[in-house]
Homo-oligomer: A and B are copies of this chain.
Amino acid sequence: MDRDTFREFGHRFVDWVADYFEEVEKYPVMSRVKPGEVRAMLPSGPPAQPEPMESIFRDFKQIILPGITHWQHPSWFGYFPANNSPASVLGEILTAGIGAQCMLWQTSPAAEELEELVLDWLKQMLGLPEEMTGVIQDTASTATLCALLSAREKATGFESNQKGLRENLVVYASVETHSSIEKGIKIAGYGRDNLHLIPTDKTYALVPEKLEQAVREDKEQGLKPACVVATLGTTSSTAVDPLQAVGKICRRHGLWLHVDAAFAGSAAILPEMKWMLEGAEHMDSFVFNPHKWLFTNFDCSAYFVKDPAALVRTFEIHPEYLKTGLDAKVKNFRDWGIQLGRRFRALKLWFVIRSYGVEGLQALLREHIRLAQLFAGWVRENAQFELMAPVPFSLVCFRFNDGGEEQSLDALNKKLLESINATGEVFLTHTTLGGRYVLRLAIGQRTTTERHVREAWNLILQKTEELL
């Protein structure tokens, strides 16, 4: 492709993205395609000859786009948000253009140093303990796996890397912990049986006394407690495990404390939300995702550790072909995680923080939290609905409840969710809390305004009426 063609389509794609940002509301939030429909429209084999970008762009618009579920839609209330932003997309253009590999300092010095710097900015913004050091991982799943591996190595005197894990090390998390913990436990060779789930209180937060009890009992039975994963903002309901109390238990028993704040961590840039980090001095590792609620394109997960040497010792490899003369003087991030190859992810994050400024980011998050409180108020005031969990951040868990039997309520709420999403006007997801089917309305998409939240509520009321 010559320079002019690249320029032409680059401009057109930028314009398309600019329009998409403004006009995404015209699409149904959830794609209406049926399984197999998209693939059936595409040729089953690759073309032998080059095709013009015009045809590729046409197919993108006509075939791919109708099969996209629009995460950047302002009426996106599903899962958690996965935001991008204009500044972040601009950063991605340059990252893609440079195409640098950020595995070693030498292979991209500026990328390595910018990553150090921007993670330090995040540390300041959230108010994380000064002694922590940050590195970008792709996802919280990966960061949590890193934490579980460091914990495993530390608990075995860095022997399990060499000999394999041949004893039962126990990891603790609440029953509300994210599925990535279970996945990491399996990958790292602990075994699912050694993940001990601790009960939660009525706010769905881990009960520290139950944790203390479990650790003691496991020790008495000859098991070896190794790690606790506390969650600030669980996926089901954004419950907040009590960090201070959990941290003290970890210190008392010499356990690694990993904190998963994948979604809610971003809120710690607000002075009024820093309460969630009380006890942060006990953390060995902490992860949150700028790609969720800090307007930075996926993937970008910020992982902080108290003891970088333990992380590096967990992962370091020394093949001859990766040695450089500067290895003693610089950070080589290849040893800070699972993958050897690494994208220049710090650039987009730097673009976002500078483009919004800390106060700009704070204003966006504050508004999302305000909107969630507003919505929660409407639920609270309506006799046919009930809030199903506290709303510490911007996720509202609720359900329709006309006083019917629990089983029929579950079925009714499931039907309600389906009918709401089928309109294509909004997208919500569900969970179960205390065994009950619950609707989740997660606010956090960059362009969501009060109008969108009001329209969602009106639609919920309308669909409820139609169902009854």
With both beta carbons as reference points, the residue of chain B lying nearest to A164 in the complex is identified as B191
State A297–B357 Cα separation when bound (angstroms). Answer: 30
State A189–B353 Cα separation when bound (angstroms). Answer: 39
Cβ distance A356 to chain B, nearest Cβ, rounded Å: 6
Tell whether A448 is near chain B: CB-to-CB under 8 Å: no
Tell whether A423 is near chain B: CB-to-CB under 8 Å: no
Cβ distance A116 to chain B, nearest Cβ, rounded Å: 6
- Among B70, B93, B356, B360, the residue within 8 A (CB) of A13 is B93
| Copies, count | 2
State A22–B236 Cα separation when bound (angstroms). Answer: 50
Q: Is the CB of A86 within 8 A of B162?
A: no
Instruction: Name which of A102-110, A197-205, A242-250 contacts chain B.
Output: A102-110
Q: A77-93: contact bitstring with B at CB < 8 Å (1 yes, 0 no)?
A: 01100111111111011
Q: Is the CB of A18 within 8 A of B35?
A: no
Q: Is the CB of B297 within 8 A of A96?
A: yes
Cβ distance A66 to chain B, nearest Cβ, rounded Å: 7
A35 to chain B: which residues have CB within 8 Å? 105, 109, 326, 329-330
A411 to chain B: which residues have CB within 8 Å? none
Cβ distance A456 to chain B, nearest Cβ, rounded Å: 18
A431 to chain B: which residues have CB within 8 Å? 320-321
In the assembled complex, 20 residue pairs joining A and B whose CB atoms fall closer than 8 Å, in A order, are: A6-B90, A10-B93, A11-B14, A17-B96, A33-B109, A46-B353, A47-B353, A50-B356, A55-B354, A65-B110, A69-B107, A69-B108, A71-B98, A79-B101, A82-B101, A82-B341, A160-B189, A162-B191, A187-B187, A299-B341
Tell whether A97 is near chain B: CB-to-CB under 8 Å: yes
Tell whether A138 is near chain B: CB-to-CB under 8 Å: yes
- Among B11, B44, B66, B358, the residue within 8 A (CB) of A110 is B66
Q: Is the CB of A92 within 8 A of B94?
A: no
Tell whether A458 is near chain B: CB-to-CB under 8 Å: no
Tell whether A452 is near chain B: CB-to-CB under 8 Å: no
A64 to chain B: which residues have CB within 8 Å? 110, 114, 347
Query: Which of A39, A88, A98, A121 gathers most chain B CB within 10 Å?
Result: A98
With contacts A7-B18, A56-B355, A320-B431 known, is A341 near B191, CB below 8 A? no
- Among B17, B298, B358, the residue within 8 A (CB) of A97 is B17
Instruction: Name which of A139-147, A303-311, A369-377 contacts chain B.
Output: A139-147
With contacts A18-B6, A163-B193, A341-B298 known, is A79 near B321, CB below 8 A? yes
Instruction: Name which of A175-183, A213-221, A399-407 contacts chain B.
Output: A175-183
- Among B50, B88, B107, the residue within 8 A (CB) of A360 is B50
Tell whether A9 is near chain B: CB-to-CB under 8 Å: yes
State A156–B242 Cα separation when bound (angstroms). Answer: 38
With contacts A22-B3, A47-B353, A354-B51 known, is A110 near B38, CB below 8 A? yes
Apart from A164-B165, A179-B318, list 15 A-B contacts with CB within 8 A: A20-B98, A46-B124, A46-B353, A49-B359, A50-B356, A56-B87, A68-B108, A70-B98, A79-B107, A142-B338, A145-B338, A161-B186, A182-B317, A321-B429, A325-B418
Q: Is the CB of A358 within 8 A of B47?
A: yes
State A121–B99 Cα separation when bound (angstroms). Answer: 24
Cβ distance A413 to chain B, nearest Cβ, rounded Å: 13
- Among B53, B87, B117, B343, the residue within 8 A (CB) of A355 is B53
Cβ distance A134 to chain B, nearest Cβ, rounded Å: 13
Tell whether A45 is near chain B: CB-to-CB under 8 Å: yes
Q: Is the CB of B321 within 8 A of A162?
A: no
Tell whether A275 is near chain B: CB-to-CB under 8 Å: no
Q: Is the CB of A109 within 8 A of B357?
A: no
Q: Is the CB of B110 within 8 A of A359?
A: no
Tell whether A15 is near chain B: CB-to-CB under 8 Å: yes
